[in-house]
Amino acid sequence: MLPQIVRQAMPSEPEADGCPANVHPLLWRIYRSRGIGDAQELERELGALIPPDQMAGLDAAVAELAAAVEGGRRILVIGDFDADGATSCALAVLALRAFGHQDVDFLVPNRFEFGYGLTPEIVEVASARAPDVIVTVDNGVSSVDGVAAAKALGWRVVVTDHHLAGAVLPDADALVNPNLEGNPFPSKALAGVGVIFYVLVGLRGHLRATRWFERKAIAMPNMADLLDLVALGTVADVVPLDHNNRILVHQGLLRIRSGRCRPGITALLQIAGRNPARAGSADMGFAVGPRLNAAGRIDDMTLGIDCLLTDDADEAHRLASELDRLNRERRSIEEDMKAQAEAMLTDWAPDDGGELPWGLCLYRHDWHQGVIGILASRIKERYHRPVIAFAAAGDGVLKGSARSIPGLHIRDVLDEVAARDPALLQKFGGHAMAAGMSIAQSGFDSFARLFDEVVRLHLCDDDLRAVIRSDGPVPEVALNLDTARAIHDGGPWGQGFSEPIFDDHFEVVSSRVVGRKHWKLVVRPVAGTQTIDAIAFNAVEFLPTVPDRIHAAYRLDQNEWQGRLSLQLRFEHLEEAAQ
């Protein structure tokens, strides 16, 4: 079923709505449609950040870390194997070293051997390093047994996380998570890297107050210098870009564009063919993030963290090249798995007459455990329904990765499945739009049936049709590079603060296939006179020929070629227009 283009309500008179003098009128209308009611909500300076003292648990974490730094205790950071976990690890290590504490190291569980989080098994591995203090980043709120195992060895444990908690909390010495019940911190959307950033800002404040830097003759570090890592981790983890996160991401992007960032981020941008001087949130989400994630999906996230930690540009380029190679390998695996999944769906013939389940579970014994999350995303995008892709994890266990659609909280669905049949799910956790779980291989069919049953209780037919929410057409007078630049600079855009998508009817002047699967076009608005270049990525499969007249949803893009910028429409969806 084709997506439906729906135009969202837009204020019609920007001047009457108090458009600031320095904001493009079209951009102000877009801000207003996204709930911005006051120009102060557009403030992106660091002074507008929520103060650290509003975060419950932060004082206890600062006290633990200050005692470790001042007492010369060995700190071991335990991270996650995705981009948020990698940036969180790098941030913690770099900041603690900048504070004058050199006895700090990190450990990331290999997803294929240990799975996610601070488990008793990873505690056993960590014991070889004899830490005094464990700091979890982007994990730990569900690590009840792992924290207990660490405490039994006499270690202090500081948990920093942003995931939703289970019924029982770990008995950590400090626990910082804005999503814990009763935590008054106004922004619940912080990524894991945002949480540890706040903790470290609090720690620097404590060390400054105790004159630590003066006593050790250390220059007090500027925490803003690490915001490039915060920007990358926040965007790559697809958390909502509320006002606080927009400030963090914007400030990080400013540093990346000015060349004041980690050599590894610069190298990853360059190897992806992106210009660091013009880097935006899309570059973090679609170029840097996937290459960093490839380490955790295919090999070991230690490689990605090393890339972020190194100060040597040549070493950063070498590591970025290896990450790029792993990402190409990941793409190849993903393409094979997607073709296999599509074949399954083509042959689907359940008892209800061939209708696909509303909650879709897919499994093959040879699927790659590190790629099932991407596969679930691809199938979800194609069929617009919640999807869980499973891979064998050994010992009769399947690991699953779930992706949901708007209006369905996937972790709540799993909660309901577990309540209806407690024996099916061995463990699970996640967010509204993504989750992970383990089930017995023998229980796959039962789980798939129950998952579909629960999903059907929460969705209706209309929910299964994708909706593209458009900001309407761009007036021809504004259809230019200046408007595209204003929109690019008016972000950061992302989850919960979507980049503007427009729609209009166009006459197709010319079209040709590039890269075997993309349409390169020249179009003219039906109601206009100018011709404009356009690109429709990955559209050939769905639209083998381009009609003379189309209805398209598009973004305004700045196309860079041989150092020159020009306006380009990036078509997100196109279909034949009624004559």
pLDDT, tens digit, for every residue of 421-469?
Answer: 999 999 888 778 888 999 999 999 999 999 999 999 999 988 998 899 9
Lowest mean pLDDT of 68-77, 264-273, 533-542, 570-579, name the range.
570-579
Predicted confidence (pLDDT) at residue 352 exceeds the cutoff of 60: no
Say how far apart CA 519 and CA 536 lie, in whole Å. 5
Q: Are β-strands 549-561 and 564-576 bridged in parallel, bridged antiparallel, or unpaired? A: antiparallel
Lowest mean pLDDT of 27-41, 65-79, 302-316, name the range.
27-41
pLDDT mean over 193-218: 97
pLDDT mean over 350-366: 82
Predicted confidence (pLDDT) at residue 393 exceeds the cutoff of 80: yes
The pLDDT of residue 1 is 60
pLDDT mean over 2-18: 69
Angle, helices 227-236 vs 192-209, to 10°: value is 160
More confident residue, 407 or 570: 570
Predicted confidence (pLDDT) at residue 112 exceeds the cutoff of 90: no
The CATH number of the structural domain formed by 4-36+469-576 is 2.40.50.460
The pLDDT of residue 16 is 47
Q: Does domain 348-464 have CATH number 3.10.310.30?
A: yes
- The CB-side HSE value for 237 (13 A sphere, CA atoms) comes to 34
Topology match between the domains 4-36+469-576 and 52-324: no
Helix, strand, coil tally for the chain in percent (to 5): 45, 20, 35
pLDDT digits (tens, 9 = 90+) for 222-254: 999 999 999 999 999 989 999 999 999 999 999
Q: What pLDDT band is residue 349 in, cutting at 50, 70 and 90?
A: low
The pLDDT of residue 526 is 93
pLDDT mean over 128-156: 96
Say how far apart CA 111 and CA 374 lie, in whole Å. 15
Instruction: Provide the mean pLDDT of the chain.
Output: 93
Sorted by where each begins, the domain ranges of the chain are 4-36+469-576, 52-324, 348-464
The pLDDT of residue 524 is 95
Fold exhibited by the domain 52-324: inorganic pyrophosphatase (n-terminal core) (3.90.1640)
**Beta carbons of 410 and 389 less than 8 angstroms apart:** no
pLDDT digits (tens, 9 = 90+) for 282-297: 999 999 999 999 998 8
Say how far apart CA 283 and CA 5 lie, in whole Å. 25
Angle at 96 between CA 95 and CA 98, to 5 degrees: 65
More confident residue, 558 or 347: 558
Lowest mean pLDDT of 17-26, 54-63, 387-396, 472-481, name the range.
17-26
- Alpha-carbon distances, residue 416 vs 11, 313, 402, 425, 452 (angstroms): 40, 50, 15, 11, 12
Predicted confidence (pLDDT) at residue 353 exceeds the cutoff of 60: no
Say how far apart CA 366 and CA 386 lie, in whole Å. 22
Lowest mean pLDDT of 25-39, 136-150, 388-402, 504-518, name the range.
25-39
More confident residue, 563 or 529: 529
Largest CA distance in the chain: 77
